[in-house]
Amino acid sequence: MRKIIGYAALLFLIYTFYNEGMFGEIFKQSTSTKTEVAADPTPVPVLYSSDNINTLKEQFLKTKLSVRKEIQQGVKLAGNYNGVIDGLWGPETEKSLVNFGQSNKIPFNSNILLDRIIAIAVSSKTGEIWFNGSGQRKAPFSVEASPNRDFFIKLREADTKIDVLAAYIKAGETFETKAPLGSFELVYASGENWLGEVDLFEKNLSITRADKTFVFEIVGNQIMGRKIKLVSVQNGNLKSVRLNKDSF
């Protein structure tokens, strides 16, 4: 019988890099060693107290009816709610919100919890989120998203820097609306896994401002609108400037 004196193993680490349009692979050899790995501790479940639930109910009822319906739609899309989308607080709504928070291990904070649920509803479709402008909306305005990223866009008054319109656009889709007359900037965030207007996207976050002013105006008997494509193309005519979250 042969004795097993020892053993060796080859561990191949694969590095992929991009070099002038060509992909290559480099293989490096090393010796693996056996180590003891401590078991992960048992995760501590997140549980909401009765006081937490009362606070959640108060926060829920403080919001507008349309937002309450959106919250219910969010937990329904997440698979936690089978009730009617009526914006009312009841046993089904309470159960669904609590289950969502606890199952996703969200430490209790009513604002964060509701924002996270609203984010699910918002990111399920392309559409306007809010409008805070005062002028009449007359000018055609459309934005087409690239096929591999969702976008959150805001139309911002060029002189006052006040945001007047916000919309969510799913990858490859086009958002169409009417904008008020005036001069505006377009700022937008893109990425994966929408978390809400505060945290924006969880993965591959990019925050940008289009490096031009968009003017919506009446010229003669025509209303001049804007059609924008947020698609990366070589020699495109829409330049952009990177922003941080504070500037967004």
Structural domains in the chain, sorted by start: 50-122 (no CATH), 127-247 (2.60.40.1120)
Structure-model confidence comparison of residues 29 and 140, the more confident one: 140
Model confidence band, residue 68 (pLDDT cutoffs 50, 70, 90): very high
User: Would the pLDDT of 27 be above 60?
Assistant: no
The confidence score (pLDDT) of residue 41 equals: 52
**pLDDT tens digits for range 221-234:** 999 999 999 987 76
Which residue type sits at 92? E
User: Would the pLDDT of 208 be above 80?
Assistant: yes
User: Would the pLDDT of 188 be above 80?
Assistant: yes
Structure-model confidence comparison of residues 23 and 115, the more confident one: 115
Chain centroid to CA 245: 13
Model confidence band, residue 116 (pLDDT cutoffs 50, 70, 90): confident
The pTM score is 0.71
Q: How far apart are the two ends of the chain, measured CA to CA in Å?
A: 72
Asked if residue 62 lies in contact with residue 80, where contact means CB atoms within 8 angstroms, the answer is: no
List the structure tokens of 166. 């916000």
- Is residue 229 exposed (0-12), middle (13-18) or buried (19+ Cβ within 10 Å)? middle
Measured CA angle at 115 (ends 114, 119), to 5 deg: 115
Q: Tell me the average pLDDT of the chain.
A: 83
Model confidence band, residue 21 (pLDDT cutoffs 50, 70, 90): very low
CA-wise closest residue to 208 among 183, 173, 232, 178: 232
Asked if residue 177 lies in contact with residue 128, where contact means CB atoms within 8 angstroms, the answer is: yes
Which residue type sits at 136? Q
The confidence score (pLDDT) of residue 19 equals: 38
The confidence score (pLDDT) of residue 33 equals: 45
CB atoms within 10 A of CB 139: 22
User: Would the pLDDT of 5 be above 50?
Assistant: no
Non-local CB neighbours of 51 within 8 Å, separated by 6+ positions: none
Rounded Cα–Cα distance for residues 157 and 136 (Å): 14
Model confidence band, residue 237 (pLDDT cutoffs 50, 70, 90): confident
Buried b (16+ CB within 10 A) or exposed e, 167-185: bbbbeebebebebbbbebb
DSSP at 63: S
- Is residue 207 exposed (0-12), middle (13-18) or buried (19+ Cβ within 10 Å)? buried
Asked if residue 248 lies in contact with residue 207, where contact means CB atoms within 8 angstroms, the answer is: yes
**pLDDT > 70: percent of the chain:** 80
